[in-house]
Amino acid sequence: MTGGPTVTARAQGRVNLIGEHTDYNGGMVLPAALAVGLEVTLSPRGDSVVAVSSNNYDAPAIRDLADDAVGEWADPCVGALREANSMGLLDGGAALDVASTIPEGSGLSSSAALIVAVLKAARALGPGGPSDIDLAIAARRVENDYMGVPCGIMDQMAVALASPGTAMALDTKKLEYGLVPLPQTHEMVVIHSGVTRKLTDGRYAARKNECDAAKRYFGTNDLCLLSLEAVESADLEDAPKRRTLHCMTENARVHTAIAALDANDIASFGAAMNESHISMRDLFEMSLPDIDALVDSAVQLGAVGARLTGGGFGGCIVACVDKAERENWLEELLAKHPQARFIDAVSGA
Ligand code: GAF
């Protein structure tokens, strides 16, 4: 069954350099595009069937546009095609072929990249169409409303708009961003901890709920913009209070990190990464002992800074490492943590 021309679209994975769980609390984030990415080939079918094949799965998934999400790998594709239909980019289902090098469950936005690539492919079926920012907003709707993941907007904006060699300083409240050059002397090295996780497993939502409780208490959606005094003096339960302290200090660290990159002050950038990890570990409580050990080793072995990246509870760390030292550093790190593996590294041009 066919219903139109075949189109392809790409989206890269992203690593967040700093600014975790600030993107649904009115704050800043600093993601960067990775080399790992995916390509989607879309052929409209003219009926309501969604047929997805992927290099990561032996058997194709055959679903229908009317299907609810079922918590499996093809959900982002079904959700994206439903969204493409409601945006008028496509009429009916499609055959999708996915070729991806982004490891799933690693905090590198494999799901957002898949949704954005499907939406970009659907946009390519006709002339003009929505902007990349509109596609990012639509991709978040797929995660929030179809897949039931209460995520912010960082991943979708990063995979839709980030460009190689730069970090994206994104104000998630205003959806305004600037591109910050990455250092040429250092690499942002992405290492998988060996622990996979899913944003749908409930722990991300639990943190979001604690932030929501703090939002109700303070009467604002912008926890990141509260003052330290207001938070410290609040008569609020321990968990929401600590989550808020993380968000507002993390937001300040993003500003510090952007200024440090602009000034090519790598030491200050690394210090902000290290402080961010401590805050994620102790205040947001989104790390794990294995990840803390990996981050500690990364710094002990010579990284200027290192931290967990992404939604937490597993996935990857990112470390800022002098290019001249990277090879030895990596060899020693992986020898000490055999369950870890190298994924990618990004730097300035
Ligand atoms: C995940 C979410 F999808 C993002 O919106 C963001 O909240 C991130 O976790 C934590 O910073 O990637």
pLDDT tens string 6-42: 999 999 999 999 999 999 999 999 999 999 999 999 9
Q: CA 19, CA 23: separation in Å to the nearest integer?
A: 8
Calculate mean pLDDT across residues 255-272.
98
Q: Where in the chain is the domain with CATH 3.30.70.890?
A: 186-346
Helix (H) or strand (E) holding 141: helix 132-141
Residue of 25, 58, 54 whose CA lies nearest to 41: 54
- Has residue 199 got a pLDDT over 90? no
Share of the chain above pLDDT 70, in %: 99
Tokens of 109: 């936005």
Helix (H) or strand (E) holding 135: helix 132-141
pLDDT tens by residue, 68-122: 999 999 999 999 999 999 999 999 999 999 999 999 888 899 999 999 999 999 9
Q: Is 155 a catalytic residue?
A: yes
Residue of 339, 280, 342 whose CA lies nearest to 311: 280
Tokens of 321: 């490492």
105 CA to centre of ligand 1 in angstroms = 12
In 162-265, alpha helices (H): 203-218, 228-232, 238-262
Query: Residue 201: its pLDDT value, please?
Result: 78
Contact 167, 31 (CB under 8 A): yes
In testing the pocket of ligand 1, which one of 151, 210, 212 has its CB within 8 Å of the most ligand atoms?
A: 151
What's the CATH class of domain 186-346?
alpha beta
Q: CA 104, CA 115: separation in Å to the nearest integer?
A: 13
Q: Assess whether the C-beta atom of 42 lies below 6 angstroms from ligand 1.
A: no
Contact 156, 140 (CB under 8 A): yes
Q: ∠ at Cα 38 (83, 84), nearest 5°?
A: 10
Q: CA 124, CA 62: separation in Å to the nearest integer?
A: 23
Contact 253, 307 (CB under 8 A): no
Q: CA 195, CA 215: separation in Å to the nearest integer?
A: 31
- Has residue 170 got a pLDDT over 90? yes
Contact 333, 215 (CB under 8 A): no
What's the CATH class of domain 7-181?
alpha beta
Atom of ligand 1 nearest to the CA of 112: 3
**pTM summary value:** 0.96
Q: Assess whether the C-beta atom of 21 lies below 6 angstroms from ligand 1.
A: yes
Q: Atom 3 of ligand 1 has which residue's CA nearest to it? A: 151
Share of the chain above pLDDT 90, in %: 94
In testing the pocket of ligand 1, which one of 21, 280, 284 has its CB within 8 Å of the most ligand atoms?
A: 21
Q: Assess whether the C-beta atom of 311 lies below 6 angstroms from ligand 1.
A: yes
**DSSP-based three-state secondary structure for 343:** strand
Which of the following is catalytic: 67, 155, 262, 344?
A: 155
pLDDT tens by residue, 251-260: 999 999 999 9
Q: Where in the chain is the domain with CATH 3.30.230.10?
A: 7-181
Query: Residue 3: its pLDDT value, please?
Result: 66
